[in-house]
Chains A and B, each alone.
Chain A
């Protein structure tokens, strides 16, 4: 399941615009000028171009959804032939307002920034959008890395969700049980999350290695098993908050919470840990012996076995590490923002992690960037929901659409008539099924 054929390829972040210009020059470019080169390369199917076009396409479809679901605007389309301006301005207004709020909630709000400069607002207000974006991005980095790493080893970890659930459970329980001193408590809780996820990843790993059970099936089944387990555990004595009647656990001790910086801002240490872990995963994948083995197994298990690599052991280890990463994502969620277990504490970070990994082309730093993009969409979606009244669910639609276009590069190429960079990439993401 080597998407993009990226396995074994030298690790490069998406090619910069300058580099392929040299190769493109050999291919008889459209124009001789610098601009000609630039445009020629811009309109070819490279990851950056594809990603940008996918986002644009997704937002266009999202705009259609916004218009279709707005009955006022829809009514103006009833007399479209008589007065098209009504329908067009109405549609433009509702869509532009929504997307403007999406941007303001995710990147920066000009009003808050100017208020900061003229002294009527605080710097925190100006940085709130970025803070929110990074807050939502942090857990996704972990779950995304989990999926991406497993991908590179030829395993499809659909179980990020379940592993994250276990991670929240163990992290939260450790967080409100042990009562250790300041720094230690947080470290123990994070480690507990890591171990919880790793245990849940171990099951599909060992079953794949020993009994040949397909990891996709096992991880899918374990997702819901974990969710049901969480639902049961919350209501047990010792976990359930005795002061509440609804399904919520005790609150994690303040010493075990990921500290946030900047007063009112929500962004916390989680994103810093996420960046560090990204670096560790990048090292693990590209520089360590284990990373070499897992890439070899991912590229060709038979060849790896012939070369003396224990494929079963690699699969098991890989799933343990992937599970641990997803577990850390769950820990980041519960120690960073939620602080207590609820049936929906994990949200959708496991499945979102899958999308993030695909968007990040299964590379560690790419995954980090993709997670930040998804965090931005989520943060902006919150503002869009409260200011423009557009449901947050639109963000889920956008995310899914972006990934569909990314996963089907041929689709985007067909739509925009992109020039193929390498013909081999067309059918690169060939599946191997169960």
Chain B
């Protein structure tokens, strides 16, 4: 509660100023973080360490259960990493080594996760390759969805309709992929499905000035209704004709795939994963280094000024939202062409909102979104792993992690999250 009240007395805007001018408050951001990390470390020691059985936890490097593995005694590991987390927290708390704040924060969080893993894996084994590639697979639609959000929101159009774009993408991929018996046709129509929703979002938000959050939510429902309706009318009675798309093939890059752990994860994968990773860096580079990126940021932060210097505000917003629709739609293809192999009603079940969370948690940047999506993907993968090995930790709580992490982030408890200034504000030329 003390965090809350300190954050309260000084609003976010004030805190921003305080960093520059006013004498530093004692409970500044690193200290609050440090206190948090210390608490979390104490929790790890008290809970994970004491509960962990004194058995070997094996993190296997090879594909199967045997073979090379990183082994550690579960109890010892849980205590060790818990203590490391406490150490990182105290280092932050005392304010030594100001330069290493981010590193210390990273160490603290990673140590906490490792402590948790040592507790859970003790006496069992966890295949690292499978975990890593599963994380990447689960993160892939989140990355694509969050990138769609980045494109729209950096130019000032709030995109809450990522869920709807996913659904339309998944549906389009299943329908056209089956009818054309071509996975590529499916992939392309997935992107088109995403664009349909994006186009409606763009027209309603930019041309008709409707509240963008309202449009997003309503479009989600519209996508849910249309795909559900057509699913029951077409796909359910005749699944063979309409709902058996071919799966996206897994490709192996010769040579590179031989690298231990990283090789099979990164280079024995499908096109969508590579597309997602490449797009992250393309959009990052584009936003920070190209004329298009400068204009997008200008339009998203101060459309009036952008218009004054001759940038077409609405045109740029249309373009960005539509390209975002292509990307999110392709992300939707994951659900039918990669994950399950057929469409089902409301099959995305909130993934679009996790993508939105990744976008916000990643502070509206492509690289941040990548990190957040990987983190959330890992949480999901861990949830399935834990329920598979019969862990007492309920998978639902791990699945809550993305949402709770995002709430903590926007509440300003960890870092400062700020949307583009003109995000969600329609631009009317005066």
- Residues of B1-19 whose CB lies within 8 A of A: 4-5, 7-8, 11-13
Given contacts A212-B11, A400-B222, contact A224 B228 (CB under 8 A): no
Given contacts A232-B396, A410-B208, A431-B426, contact A394 B225 (CB under 8 A): yes
> Shortest beta-carbon distance, B426 to chain A, in Å?
6
Given contacts A410-B209, A427-B209, contact A396 B407 (CB under 8 A): no
A43: Cβ under 8 A from any B Cβ: no
Closest to A212 in B: B12
B39: Cβ under 8 A from any A Cβ: no
Q: Is the CB–CB distance between B234 and A431 below 8 Å? A: no
- Taking CB atoms, residues of chain A closer than 8 Å to B156 are 433
Q: Is the CB–CB distance between B411 and A433 below 8 Å? A: no
Complex partner residue of A404 from B222, B233, B404, CB under 8 angstroms = B222
Q: Is the CB–CB distance between B222 and A401 below 8 Å? A: yes
Q: Is the CB–CB distance between B221 and A355 below 8 Å? A: yes
Given contacts A393-B228, A427-B428, A433-B419, contact A407 B403 (CB under 8 A): no
Q: Is the CB–CB distance between A351 and B221 below 8 Å? A: yes
Complex CA–CA separation, A231 to B400 (angstroms): 11
A221: Cβ under 8 A from any B Cβ: yes
A44: Cβ under 8 A from any B Cβ: no
Q: Is the CB–CB distance between B228 and A391 below 8 Å? A: yes
- Residues of B313-359 whose CB lies within 8 A of A: 345, 350, 353-354, 356-357
Q: Is the CB–CB distance between B208 and A69 below 8 Å? A: no
Q: Is the CB–CB distance between B407 and A433 below 8 Å? A: no
Closest to A207 in B: B411
> Shortest beta-carbon distance, B226 to chain A, in Å?
6
Complex partner residue of B424 from A70, A397, A427, A432, CB under 8 angstroms = A432
Complex CA–CA separation, A366 to B409 (angstroms): 37
Interface flags, A289-323, vs B, CB<8A=1, else 0: 00000000000000000000000100000000000
Q: Is the CB–CB distance between A396 and B218 below 8 Å? A: no
> Shortest beta-carbon distance, B243 to chain A, in Å?
14
Complex CA–CA separation, A210 to B13 (angstroms): 12
Complex CA–CA separation, A358 to B221 (angstroms): 14
Given contacts A431-B213, A432-B424, A433-B212, contact A69 B234 (CB under 8 A): yes
- Taking CB atoms, residues of chain B closer than 8 Å to A355 are 218, 221
> Shortest beta-carbon distance, A397 to chain B, in Å?
4
- Taking CB atoms, residues of chain B closer than 8 Å to A217 are 360, 406-407, 410
> Shortest beta-carbon distance, A75 to chain B, in Å?
14
Q: Is the CB–CB distance between A434 and B204 below 8 Å? A: no
Complex CA–CA separation, A428 to B214 (angstroms): 14
- Residues of A337-391 whose CB lies within 8 A of B: 348, 351, 354-355, 358, 390-391
Complex partner residue of B233 from A69, A312, A403, CB under 8 angstroms = A69
Complex CA–CA separation, A224 to B425 (angstroms): 26
Given contacts A220-B160, A400-B225, contact A407 B211 (CB under 8 A): yes
Interface flags, B86-101, vs A, CB<8A=1, else 0: 0000000000000000
A65: Cβ under 8 A from any B Cβ: yes
Q: Is the CB–CB distance between B211 and A429 below 8 Å? A: yes
Q: How many residues of B contact A (CB 8 A)?
A: 64
Complex CA–CA separation, A397 to B222 (angstroms): 5
Interface flags, B349-389, vs A, CB<8A=1, else 0: 01001101100100000000000000000000000000000
Q: Is the CB–CB distance between B8 and A433 below 8 Å? A: no
Complex partner residue of B217 from A158, A218, A227, A390, CB under 8 angstroms = A158
Complex CA–CA separation, A30 to B343 (angstroms): 54
Q: Is the CB–CB distance between A221 and B404 below 8 Å? A: yes
A408: Cβ under 8 A from any B Cβ: yes
- Residues of A224-251 whose CB lies within 8 A of B: 224-225, 227-229, 231-232
Interface flags, A195-235, vs B, CB<8A=1, else 0: 00000000100110111111011101111110111011000
B397: Cβ under 8 A from any A Cβ: yes
B151: Cβ under 8 A from any A Cβ: no
Q: Is the CB–CB distance between A407 and B233 below 8 Å? A: no
Q: Is the CB–CB distance between A1 and B233 below 8 Å? A: no
- Taking CB atoms, residues of chain B closer than 8 Å to A429 are 209-211, 214
B399: Cβ under 8 A from any A Cβ: yes
Complex CA–CA separation, A222 to B353 (angstroms): 11
- Residues of B408-428 whose CB lies within 8 A of A: 410-413, 419, 422-426, 428
Closest to B220 in A: A351
B281: Cβ under 8 A from any A Cβ: no
B64: Cβ under 8 A from any A Cβ: no
> Shortest beta-carbon distance, A68 to chain B, in Å?
9
Q: Is the CB–CB distance between A220 and B11 below 8 Å? A: no
> Shortest beta-carbon distance, A371 to chain B, in Å?
16
> Shortest beta-carbon distance, A410 to chain B, in Å?
5
Q: Is the CB–CB distance between A393 and B229 below 8 Å? A: yes
Given contacts A411-B208, A429-B210, contact A229 B396 (CB under 8 A): yes
Interface flags, A118-159, vs B, CB<8A=1, else 0: 000000000000000000000000000000000000001010
- Taking CB atoms, residues of chain A closer than 8 Å to B404 are 221, 225
- Contacts A407-B218, A433-B422 aside, 8 further interface pairs with beta carbons under 8 A come to A3-B214, A156-B211, A391-B232, A403-B218, A429-B211, A431-B211, A431-B214, A433-B425
- 23 A-B pairs within 8 Å (CB atoms) are namely A65-B230, A210-B8, A211-B8, A211-B12, A213-B410, A221-B357, A221-B404, A221-B406, A225-B400, A227-B350, A228-B399, A351-B220, A393-B345, A397-B225, A399-B221, A399-B225, A400-B218, A400-B222, A407-B211, A408-B204, A410-B208, A411-B208, A433-B424
Residues of A participating in the B interface, judged by any CB pair closer than 8 Å: 1, 3, 65, 69-70, 156, 158, 203, 206-207, 209-214, 216-218, 220-225, 227-229, 231-232, 312, 348, 351, 354-355, 358, 390-391, 393-401, 403-404, 407-408, 410-411, 427, 429-434
